Amino acid sequence: MRFVKLEKKYDVVIVGAGPAGLAAAIEIAKEKINVLVLDRKQEIGCPKRCAEGLGLGWFNRLNLKPKKDWCVQTIHGAALYAPNGKGFQMKRTETMGYVLERKIFEKELAREAVNAGAKILLKHQVVGAIRNKNEVVLKVEADDETREVRTPLVIACDGVDSLTAKMLGLNTKLDLRETDSGYQYEMTGISGYDEHLLHLYFGTDVAPRGYIWIFPKRNHTANVGIGIGAYEEKTAKYYLDKWIAQQEGLKNGSIIEVNAGAIPVGGFLDKMQAANLIVAGDAGHMVDPIHGGGIGIALEGGRLAAKHAIKAIQSKKYSEKDLEPYTQDWYDTRGNELMKRLKGRHLLEQLSDGDFNYLAGSITMEEALKIGNGALTKKDKLLLFSKKLVTRPGLVKIFMKYMKDEVQKEGGVKL
Amino acid sequence: MTAKNNGSKCLYCGACVGVCPVQAIILKDTRIIIDKKKCINCGACVNICPVGAMKIEK
């Protein structure tokens, strides 16, 4: 006996009760639209595939109020460590972000969605999807039974392993070269790091084509994880275990959670819609292309998906062309800006350990952030080249390549 | 030859499902189901797996 029953028809079915799916459900339910959220798992917000950091910029942008229940640590900056152990850090007195407890945060989103009128069903897995006239018939497996649910619009927020969109003909496959392999422990009983900074460790022996992170929670607890290129011969687990064993403050800690997952860092899908379908969150590769963070982007993407879903339902138009403004809107409002950061990651990946060591001793955190954001001004570039990079020809070459597109746009100015 | 999953290592994170080019892998509860007929032995799942739980076996 179930209190919330699977009905035969809904206005919208959202597949996946993560940040994107729940954010979409909240907005859609507010419009008194009959919306169902399905998730194959047994608990919302768990197991996380995430380091749980969220910058203050996202809170402001999304009009999200930080709450003590799920903002378990205040972050005042970041520390980056080069392979030789030298680091540079930026720490401000004001709060710059939080580390969340996602299982509490996402359950709050779920409550908000249900209060607005959405229905949620867990342990319900979509195992098939076909189009029939102007709607989709989903095959949903639960309790040893497979039942059919009809809806004119599916929002696929089912993560990196999304199959729903693929079943409806939208290829969301990950390119291995642009996908990171992620592995993480939530550890407790650890010490030796500033609990109010995010710590990032670089180096080909540490994390080839990626980095190791410590995202602190309170009381000597932190998410300690790694992201590396998928093509590395050894596993993410191998590199993380090796590194932790060498860290005085960490090696005697206890692991209270093990997390893993693929990180779609290659930039967003070109097309996030098909007939009767829109995609948001990790399923649409909505992840920051430089650091792999995705909570804020998923929330924003989910809300944008909701905006276009509401329009589609009100006008009863669900063709691929009718839904195209969603993809367009995503690129205009956020996508294009974030795609600039993809270049930042490609640059990072080309740096040798020696380059990293040199940069850690010569550039400032502000410059590093600007490079990452693709936001260097002409003056910044001149300064960088003439004062700082000039002694390392290898670095000049890498940076020239990085800036080539922009230089061409600026009318062929040679730096 | 086909991909094979090691249940004692697997964390059921779904990384292999996401990179499989032919949708031969399905994650259900705590089971990885590999469709041997669909599998093309490309090794993408082996590459992405964070814990080394995937193998191509004869």
ipTM for the complex? 0.96
Question: What's residue A2's pLDDT?
Answer: 61
CA distance A41 to A125: 8
Sheet holding A273-274, edge to edge: A119-121, A35-38, A12-15, A153-156, A277-279, A273-274
Q: Which pLDDT score is estimated for A151?
A: 98
Condensed to tens digits (0 to 9), the pLDDT of residues A257-292 reads 999 999 999 999 999 999 999 999 999 999 999 889
Beta bridge partners of A149: A138
Cβ-Cβ contacts under 8 Å, A183 against chain B = 50-51
At residue A405, the pLDDT reads: 57
Nearest-Cα distance to chain A for B29, in Å, is 7
Contact criterion met (CB < 8 Å) for A236 and B50: yes
- Residues A266/A294, Cβ–Cβ less than 8 Å: no
Mean pLDDT of chain B: 94
pLDDT of res. A415: 36
Beta carbons of B13 and A162 less than 8 Å apart: no
Q: Which residues of chain A have pLDDT under 50?
A: 407-415
pLDDT of the residue at A406:
54
Closest approach of A59 to chain B, Cα-based (Å): 28
Confirm if A340 and A179 have CB atoms less than 8 A apart. Answer: no
Q: How far apart are CA A184 and CA A167, in angstroms?
A: 30
How far apart (Å, rounded) are the C-alpha atoms in residues A223 and A190? 11
Please report residues of A whose CB lies closer than 8 A to that of B29: 40
**Any CB–CB contact under 8 A between B23 and chain A?**
yes
> How much is the pLDDT for A412?
41
Residue A141 host element (H or E):
strand A135-142
Which member of B18, B28, B52 has the closest CB to residue A262?
Answer: B18
Given this model, what pLDDT does residue A359 score?
Answer: 86
pLDDT per position as a tens digit, A113-138: 999 999 999 999 999 999 999 999 99
pTM exceeds 0.80 = yes
B16: domain CATH number is 3.30.70.20
Give chain B's domain count: 1
Tell me the residue range of the domain where B31 lies: 2-57
Q: Answer whether A182 sits within 8 Å of B50, measured CB to CB.
A: yes
